[in-house]
A and B are shown apart, each in its own frame.
Chain A
Amino acid sequence: MKPLLKEIQQIREGLIADIKSNLAANQLKIKYLGRKSKLNYLLKNLKNFSLEEKKVFGQKVNQLKNFIQSEIIKYENQNQKTDQLIDLTLPSAKNPLGSTHPIRAMQIELVNIFSPLGFEIASGPEIESSWYNFEALNIDENHPARDDQDSFYLDDTHLLRTQTSSVQLRVLEKSKPPIRIIAPGRIFRRDSADTIHTPTFHQIEGLIVDENVTFADLKGILNYAVKKIFSPDTKTRFRISYFPFVEPSAEMDISCPFCLHEQKSCPVCKGSSWIEILGCGMVHPKVLKNAQIDPKKYQGIAFGMGIERPLMIKYQIPTIKLFYENDLSFLNQFK
Chain B
Amino acid sequence: MSGRQVQGSNVSNLTVFLTRLKGKSMKLFAVMLVSLLVFVACTPVLQDDPFVFATDAASVYKRVDRSAMPAVATAVITSKDAYNAANPVDDANLMFATEIVTNVNGLHEALDDDLTGLNLVPCNVNTTDPFNIETSTCINQAAPLVVPDTLKIDTTAAAGFPNGRQPADPVMDVTLAVVLLELGATGNGQNVTSLVGVLNPAENDKAFLGSFPYLAAPHAAN
Are both chains from one complex? no
Q: Which B positions have Cβ atoms within 8 angstroms of A?
A: none
